[in-house]
Structure 1
């Protein structure tokens, strides 16, 4: 990460995947002595980024952000060859994700002065060889070392993604004021609670506790949102109609949620050459004539095409361009092509990053699963298209259903590229028997109605269409199964629960071709992918043992009978018999934020039920 403190300087390190999922544009990164904000796309040095080729995902991003988005780029990074002995003032050490100090209000750790950086009361201290020691100091004493100042840990935000410094002068004086007296922040206890934090104006001798800024009743005392977008260095040109900003704590989990679109690189071509062209499309799409294909070969860009002539490659490029509309037609439904490939593994093309292997369902499970497919090689590409604050985008069905005014932009102008990352790994795909699903749904109509009621009750207070985007009890079954199996496989596969993810393929017959499948997978940024520990457990004998244990484990929860008696309609939640003790997964693993879960749809719990899918 690179920040501007008198000059560009390195202040920390982030992994490429973190720049998308944890510390993306608009998020706050808490450093030892600083808090910094990741800046917008205009500040990124893209000359040090690498383009990622994934045509389906690019078209999907274009559906949301516009056709002008032309590239998926990795975060900028310095060459690995700069070495540890190079000059830290070289240009190579100025490459990174740009950040800026935020919040701008700081507190002196000694005298407790509360003031903005623009007051010039605080001096930056940059240590190029120790980025972790970069800090601001306050020369409030002539003796000893100047004390470090720390960020004021209170901010304000709104549902439209705007972020601003806490209005300290207005808060202390309970409204707009012309007083410019010095402010001080004191903590009266060791708990760190807002009720123990007091802000005082020395000129007016007025004080106010921070607890008065929090709570539903106190929010009406907060000022309206100014529409500030500090990551873009501007204010929203459309303004903001939020009557009152919401106070949040620095580092709060609801201060930033990424809006990410992801796709698996599945082969869609019918022959090896066409598949190779798909895999290298980021380069080959620039070929506008046969001579350019020859030029690419001359500079070593076509090493994988040694079996094919330039004319054959050019013909393949032309054929792909003629079928470009087919890719655009599936851009809004990224999972449909993946389902088609996984459900027909024997006809799928094999590539360097995709290889499937069909295995038999374990003994006793043939009536429930049509196919079990081991994905020895997988490639997933993710793109960051925006972010939200206060409300998680997982409250919505997908990124396509998120209202545009809730998705904060990544740049001041319409973007021509978006940050992306690619990971490689492995997985196990379960294709459920459609016949078994239909028979089970016939005897589960009451439970489906209960979940639909919970779905409506959850969406109504949020101003969403109560009946929209309900996928039925089919989705609850698939989702609950995925959670049970992930928790079980994590015990033995060598990967943590947070490293294993789910991808649910669910569609009712009324909405088109029915889908009922679950992909459980893990992936890593390494070019070689993962080590095969997950696929090894997919062999029939091992998988049968783990499925037995997974289903047996969810029969009883440590929180029973409270957990098994829970209904989603009782408290506005979107899960029934599910909790942290038996079913919930880390945020990185679950695609729906631990909603639409019920272990009672899998097996009988302490509550007597007659609709368990795996009743035998």
Structure 2
């Protein structure tokens, strides 16, 4: 007997994709349609679960809006495989989308028209919703009405606006004849804009699509209308930007702005840890009577050995601590993480956080104090906005992005934001502070510091930013470069792809508040197998890790792009903030790097072919 096949969902996505590739304001493809993910105002929250992470909520409130009260996961339909498709309401659960672009193209007669024209009919299938599509019923060519496809060109601007391509304005050069329909013809097989022509049947006007891009596009396209398709409105006061032509599916059409924190325990008390874990539910109990009701309906199973009075006392302590610490945690999210990892207190271990300390890597004891194996960790991420054309990675800090570039998630002040949680594993490496201090005091490094500060200032001045703000320091250059070098090496053996590994750099000089920090955390960020396969932690043994560090540093000695890579300087270009680094040696995927591949230099790790900077290397050659 053949086994029944599981139902296929329309446009099914993993929760993490809602934050990184198909979030609010992004254009995504369904089997027969191109659609826009709508704003928070249109989301149905019945099947959305609240995620508890007070530290992240404080950061979101400070960065986005103090009206945000909750972090919610994307709505997920309940398991209901026994129900028939006709009766299963879970088929309607999901994230709302709307057809976009609204201009469609008939592949047979090449008719180009908007859905509002009535020339295309919606064909629905009650049994197979993935077959829903628009058809050109009156197409003069072919026996059967063909399925129309979305037009492949759009317009956008740097203020986060997106709109249908102004086809009539473009082909008629600003003066619409108001008579004929439009046709889009392709000549040749290259698919380039120069081989595509739009033509008006009424007046015969025609134009090549190559005129919509580059400098010609700035001349021939109209000013942006300030349209937010995902919000179904236009920006108040319009928009002063020039439209930019882009292709459907272009990588610069949507960049997410996300915030993330690691869930770290704050107490060794078992009851306090349980309260922290279940605070999303417990925070709703405003009295002992409500708490007792929660216990009766089975919400407090993990608190079976504690009385309601004991639990209430701990909850009151949690409430007062949350109010006192929320603002401090929003300002500095890495210091609490550094304190937990550097102390490596195993009494803090819990179901979501488990660590153990091992010796420094063999052969590199002079450079590291300790290595901490983080066998379990939980990262919570939230989507707080998005940009178009300009990537958030073009700025050194998310908070530095101009408000005009930051597209909103809702029409009103948001009461919640979408968030996801990822469970994984990681390696924390604490550098020897004395070794770092001795390296920073090298006389040869002083000129390098001045040049890096000058490059940082010039880069920021070109972007109208405060030139003296957010310079990470040469210590960060070293830690960041080492993290990238080791990530590339570990990805070869740990079982995860390079894009599944992420970094967190803990860097602070001794003269700054909260003391010195010098450490890195490399951890998994892949939700497919919950990131806990153990492949990364298994590489943290002193002998194994020492071997990998040696191999990683040896790989940094010579790059395939040398000598150009080794001699690169950010002073040579206005668009870079890295030194000896490129895609062949140090660059990592965008999802892995916390600074957009900026502030990298392998000459600080190991001597390279650029002999005059050999003395800047932190690690001494072995052998």
After the TM superposition, which residues 337-486 of structure 1 pair with which residues of structure 2 at under 5 Å, given as runs? 337-346=336-345, 349-443=348-442, 444-486=445-487
1:95 pairs with 2:93: yes
Task: For 1:352 and 1:559, locate their aligned partners in 2 and report how far apart those are by CA, in whole Å.
Answer: 46
- Calculate the aligned-residue CA RMSD, in Å: 1.8
Residue equivalent to 2:5: none
Give, in angstroms, the shift of residue 142 of structure 1: 6.7
1:278 pairs with 2:276: yes
The answer to whether the Cα contact below 8 Å between 2:422 and 2:530 also exists between their aligned partners in 1 is no
Task: For 1:130 and 1:237, locate their aligned partners in 2 and report how far apart those are by CA, in whole Å.
Answer: 40
Q: Report the 3-state secondary structure (helix = DSSP H, G, I; strand = E; otherwise coil) of the residue aligned with 2:365.
A: coil
Residue equivalent to 1:120: 118
Task: For 2:428 and 2:43, locate their aligned partners in 1 and report how far apart those are by CA, in whole Å.
Answer: 38
Q: Report the 3-state secondary structure (helix = DSSP H, G, I; strand = E; otherwise coil) of the residue aligned with 1:600.
A: helix
Once the two structures are overlaid, the 10-residue window that deviates more, 591-600 or 542-551, is: 591-600
Q: Report the 3-state secondary structure (helix = DSSP H, G, I; strand = E; otherwise coil) of the residue aligned with 1:588.
A: coil
After the TM superposition, which residues 33-48 of structure 1 pair with which residues of structure 2 at under 5 Å, given as runs? 33-48=32-47
Task: For 1:88 and 1:456, locate their aligned partners in 2 and report how far apart those are by CA, in whole Å.
Answer: 62
1:610 pairs with 2:611: no
Residue equivalent to 1:588: 591
Give, in angstroms, the shift of residue 466 of structure 1: 2.7
After the TM superposition, which residues 202-601 of structure 1 pair with which residues of structure 2 at under 5 Å, given as runs? 202-242=201-241, 244-324=242-322, 325-346=324-345, 349-443=348-442, 444-512=445-513, 513-525=515-527, 529-572=531-574, 573-601=576-604
Task: For 1:465 and 1:509, locate their aligned partners in 2 and report how far apart those are by CA, in whole Å.
Answer: 24
Task: For 1:575 and 1:520, locate their aligned partners in 2 and report how far apart those are by CA, in whole Å.
Answer: 21
Superposition TM-score, scaled by structure 1 size: 0.95
Give, in angstroms, the shift of residue 527 of structure 1: 8.7
For each residue in 1:126-158, what CA deviation from the matched residue of structure 2 results, as whole angstroms up to 9, or x when unmatched?
Answer: 335445443221121374221221111111111
Give, in angstroms, the shift of residue 395 of structure 1: 2.1
Give, in angstroms, the shift of residue 508 of structure 1: 2.8
Structure 2 unaligned regions, length at least 5: 1-7
Task: For 1:10 and 1:346, locate their aligned partners in 2 and report how far apart those are by CA, in whole Å.
Answer: 45
Task: For 1:254 and 1:214, locate their aligned partners in 2 and report how far apart those are by CA, in whole Å.
Answer: 14
Give, in angstroms, the shift of residue 96 of structure 1: 0.5
Q: Report the 3-state secondary structure (helix = DSSP H, G, I; strand = E; otherwise coil) of the residue aligned with 1:560.
A: coil
Give, in angstroms, the shift of residue 348 of structure 1: 5.6
Give, in angstroms, the shift of residue 468 of structure 1: 1.9
Give, in angstroms, the shift of residue 543 of structure 1: 0.6
The answer to whether the Cα contact below 8 Å between 2:80 and 2:90 also exists between their aligned partners in 1 is no
Give, in angstroms, the shift of residue 89 of structure 1: 5.8
Residue equivalent to 2:151: 152
Give, in angstroms, the shift of residue 293 of structure 1: 1.6
Task: For 1:221 and 1:514, locate their aligned partners in 2 and report how far apart those are by CA, in whole Å.
Answer: 55
Give, in angstroms, the shift of residue 446 of structure 1: 2.0
For each residue in 1:499-519, what CA deviation from the matched residue of structure 2 results, as whole angstroms up to 9, or x when unmatched?
Answer: 111111122334322222111
For each residue in 1:459-503, what CA deviation from the matched residue of structure 2 results, as whole angstroms up to 9, or x when unmatched?
Answer: 333222233211021111111111111111111111111111111
The answer to whether the Cα contact below 8 Å between 1:555 and 1:606 also exists between their aligned partners in 2 is yes
Q: Report the 3-state secondary structure (helix = DSSP H, G, I; strand = E; otherwise coil) of the residue aligned with 1:606.
A: coil
Do the aligned partners of residues 348 and 515 (structure 1) sit closer, same or farther apart at CA in structure 2, a change above 3 Å counting?
farther
Task: For 2:126 and 2:450, locate their aligned partners in 1 and report how far apart those are by CA, in whole Å.
Answer: 62
Task: For 1:209 and 1:278, locate their aligned partners in 2 and report how far apart those are by CA, in whole Å.
Answer: 61
For each residue in 1:294-337, what CA deviation from the matched residue of structure 2 results, as whole angstroms up to 9, or x when unmatched?
Answer: 22222221122223211111000111112221133111221111
For each residue in 1:224-260, what CA deviation from the matched residue of structure 2 results, as whole angstroms up to 9, or x when unmatched?
Answer: 1111011011112243222x11111111111101110
Once the two structures are overlaid, the 10-residue window that deviates more, 419-428 or 172-181, is: 172-181
Q: Report the 3-state secondary structure (helix = DSSP H, G, I; strand = E; otherwise coil) of the residue aligned with 1:342.
A: helix
Q: Report the 3-state secondary structure (helix = DSSP H, G, I; strand = E; otherwise coil) of the residue aligned with 2:135.
A: strand
Task: For 1:511 and 1:176, locate their aligned partners in 2 and report how far apart those are by CA, in whole Å.
Answer: 62
The answer to whether the Cα contact below 8 Å between 1:502 and 1:518 also exists between their aligned partners in 2 is yes
Task: For 1:129 and 1:372, locate their aligned partners in 2 and report how far apart those are by CA, in whole Å.
Answer: 56
Give, in angstroms, the shift of residue 173 of structure 1: 1.2
The answer to whether the Cα contact below 8 Å between 2:73 and 2:418 also exists between their aligned partners in 1 is yes
Residue equivalent to 1:51: 50
Task: For 2:305 and 2:289, locate their aligned partners in 1 and report how far apart those are by CA, in whole Å.
Answer: 18
Q: Report the 3-state secondary structure (helix = DSSP H, G, I; strand = E; otherwise coil) of the residue aligned with 1:564.
A: coil
Once the two structures are overlaid, the 10-residue window that deviates more, 433-442 or 356-365, is: 433-442
The answer to whether the Cα contact below 8 Å between 2:378 and 2:422 also exists between their aligned partners in 1 is yes
Off by >4 Å, runs of 4+ in structure 1: 128-132, 526-529
Task: For 1:302 and 1:44, locate their aligned partners in 2 and report how far apart those are by CA, in whole Å.
Answer: 30
Task: For 2:347 and 2:387, locate their aligned partners in 1 and report how far apart those are by CA, in whole Å.
Answer: 37
The answer to whether the Cα contact below 8 Å between 1:428 and 1:538 also exists between their aligned partners in 2 is yes
After the TM superposition, which residues 73-84 of structure 1 pair with which residues of structure 2 at under 5 Å, given as runs? 73-83=72-82
Superposition TM-score, scaled by structure 2 size: 0.94
Query: Number of aligned pairs?
Result: 606
Residue equivalent to 2:171: 172
Structure 1 unaligned regions, length at least 5: 1-8
Q: Report the 3-state secondary structure (helix = DSSP H, G, I; strand = E; otherwise coil) of the residue aligned with 2:377.
A: strand
